């Protein structure tokens, strides 16, 4: 549908009339579609495998003090800023910079980052799908050491209580992931990748097909998919928690998760971990929030949306900690080892430690299916957000693509699939780690910094506040304006140096900040 836009201008008493045909921008079918899409994107795998471990490592409940502090002074203001920016300008990450064209390069930067994050993020979802298929069996394949992929170093964890302390031994679950799924033993390094493995390639293809049919018609289709993908994790987390708290040792794990040690707040690393977690857990800087909000109605209350969705994201992280540590406490109790021997973060938690715990339960296959369905839904809607950022951003910049949304979406997802094939070879984990290490570290931080400076100092906080008042009828308070102009940019500028040792500060200038990345190398040591 198109509408005729008529512009009337008067010059020296003479009126000039021009008209043009414009297509009205698509909007979300329902307000809840937008909220679920934002929540689904922001709440991803890191909420399960990262935050609970940081909380446990950094003083338990005391960690919430710096976490909430940085949430209020930086996380929410930046989240609010991106939602308002996209909604007012009704463009993707590059198009919004018509307000200050010199910063358009920042828009293309975040689009590019979202694109190549998809090259490896979809592989994680493919791993989860592979595990899901493997769970439909009477006995889970990571229980014993009598499989074709096992090495002589494999020791049955259930009968070998000290194996976690033995550097020469590996557990059945660890070998299943490293040798049965990734086939690391068949590669000598990144120079010896080999061909894509058909099992993982098939799983990756399924993921790509799901993404395509979720995105091909725009927010009208993706807004319906998130009703499942954004809500299912909460159902599964609740079910797992109800099962977890009944296990022996579960309460010990939860107590360790919540134990308050305020003395830890005197350590700079605790505050640094909290700042880093906030910066990356909300998903600012990927262009996704801008893209999603650009499909809102102009008068939508983006201020309320920012408060609701960012709060739900943090509460989900906190809630997932109870689920994770109830099972870690159970593992600690069952094998008579200290909790810190089983507590970990990253992919090792969800693909090694947690499957080990599930394998010991009655009806373990059922619990494994439930758990990996949760991982799939956590990953799918986050991947949808990243792809939508790319599609919307480029379509809004190159208007002719609007007529070919289905074909352009197909081009993006197929291109992503072809490049992701490098990550499902025998040596694919080396490519995966390389992408993970360099994809969204300092680059995202720098992008958000320039974005905040562009809005606050070049476009102007006052003008930006006028835009928000025009949309929602309420001008942002002094607090928000101060955060946008001073606090948030300073927070972003200092964070890169704050998390890097002084003798490595030159690495920041070269775009490498090691503590921004979730390295997979720890899985293989």
Q: Looking at the predicted structure, is the pLDDT value of residue 506 above 70? A: no
Q: How confident is the model at residue 20 (pLDDT cuts 50, 70, 90)?
A: very low
Which residues on neighbouring strands pair with residue 9, listed in sequence order? 16
Is 382 annotated as contributing to ligand binding? yes
Q: What pLDDT, on a 0 to 100 scale, did the predictor assign at position 522?
A: 37
| CA separation for the pair 170, 184 (Å, rounded) | 14
Mean pLDDT throughout 59-88? 93
Identify the pLDDT of residue 493. Answer: 76
Q: Does 40 belong to an annotated binding site?
A: yes
pLDDT at 461 over 70: yes
Helices 219-229 and 31-42: angle between axes, nearest 10 degrees = 60
pLDDT digits (tens, 9 = 90+) for 381-424: 999 999 999 999 999 999 999 999 999 999 999 999 999 999 99
pLDDT > 70 fraction of the chain, expressed in percent and rounded: 87
Q: Is 47 annotated as a binding residue?
A: yes
Helix (H) or strand (E) holding 20: strand 14-22
Q: What is the mean pLDDT of residues 432-453?
A: 86
pLDDT at residue 504, as a whole number? 55
Q: How far is CA 156 from CA 163, 171, 189, 201, in A?
A: 8, 6, 28, 30
Average pLDDT, the chain: 87
pLDDT band of 498, cuts 50, 70, 90 = low
- Residue 524, pLDDT > 80, answer no
User: Annotated binding residue at 205?
Assistant: no
pLDDT at 156: 74
- Tell me whether residue 313 is annotated as binding: yes
Predicted structure pTM score: 0.88
Confirm or deny that 447 is annotated as ligand binding. no
Does 118 show up as a binding residue in the annotation? no
């Amino acid at each position: 549908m198109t509408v005729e836009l008529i512009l009337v201008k008067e010059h020296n008493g003479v009126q000039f009339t021009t008209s043009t045909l414009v297509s009205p921008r698509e909007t979300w079918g329902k307000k809840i579609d937008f909220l679920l899409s934002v929540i689904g994107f922001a709440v991803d795998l890191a909420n399960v495998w990262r935050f609970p471990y940081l909380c446990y490592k950094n003083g338990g409940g005391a960690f919430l003090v710096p976490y909430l502090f940085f949430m209020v002074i930086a996380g929410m203001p930046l989240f609010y800023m991106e939602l308002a920016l996209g909604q007012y300008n009704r463009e993707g990450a590059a198009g919004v910079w018509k307000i200050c064209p010199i910063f358009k390069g920042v828009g293309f930067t975040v689009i590019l980052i979202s694109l190549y994050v998809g090259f490896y993020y979809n592989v994680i979802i493919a791993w989860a799908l592979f595990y899901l298929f493997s769970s439909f069996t009477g006995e889970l394949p990571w229980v014993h050491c009598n499989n074709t992929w096992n090495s002589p170093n494999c020791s049955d964890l259930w009968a070998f209580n000290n194996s976690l302390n033995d550097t020469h031994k590996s557990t059945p679950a660890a070998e299943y992931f490293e040798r049965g799924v990734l086939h690391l033993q068949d590669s000598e390094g990144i120079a010896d990748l080999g061909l894509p493995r058909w099992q993982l390639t098939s799983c990756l293809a399924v993921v790509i097909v799901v993404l395509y049919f979720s995105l091909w018609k725009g927010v009208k289709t993706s807004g319906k998919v998130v009703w499942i993908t954004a809500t299912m994790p909460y159902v599964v987390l609740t079910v797992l928690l109800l099962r977890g708290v009944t296990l022996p040792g579960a309460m010990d794990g939860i107590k360790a998760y919540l134990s308050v040690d305020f003395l830890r707040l005197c350590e700079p690393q605790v505050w640094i971990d909290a700042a880093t977690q906030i910066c990356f857990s909300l998903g600012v800087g990927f262009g996704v929030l801008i893209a999603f909000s650009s499909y809102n109605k102009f008068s939508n209350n983006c201020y309320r949306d920012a408060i609701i969705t960012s709060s739900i994201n943090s509460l989900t992280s906190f809630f997932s900690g109870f689920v994770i540590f109830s099972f870690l406490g159970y593992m600690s109790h069952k094998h008579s080892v200290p909790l810190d021997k089983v507590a970990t973060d990253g992919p090792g938690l969800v693909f090694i430690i947690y499957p080990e715990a599930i394998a010991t339960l009655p009806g373990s296959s059922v619990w494994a299916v439930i758990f990996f369905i949760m991982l799939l839904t956590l990953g799918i809607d986050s991947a949808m957000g990243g792809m939508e950022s790319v599609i919307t951003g480029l379509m809004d910049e190159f208007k002719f693509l609007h007529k070919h949304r289905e074909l352009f979406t197909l081009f993006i997802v197929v291109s992503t699939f072809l490049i992701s094939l490098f990550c499902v070879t025998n040596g694919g984990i080396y490519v995966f780690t390389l992408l993970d290490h360099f994809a969204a570290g300092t680059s995202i931080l720098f992008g958000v910094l320039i974005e905040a400076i562009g809005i606050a100092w070049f476009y102007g906080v006052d003008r930006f506040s006028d835009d928000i008042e025009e949309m929602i009828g309420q001008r942002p308070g002094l607090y928000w304006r101060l955060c946008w102009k001073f606090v948030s940019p300073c927070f972003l500028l200092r964070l890169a140096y704050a998390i890097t040792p002084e003798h490595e500060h030159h690495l920041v200038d070269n775009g490498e900040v090691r503590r921004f990345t979730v390295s997979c190398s720890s899985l293989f040591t």
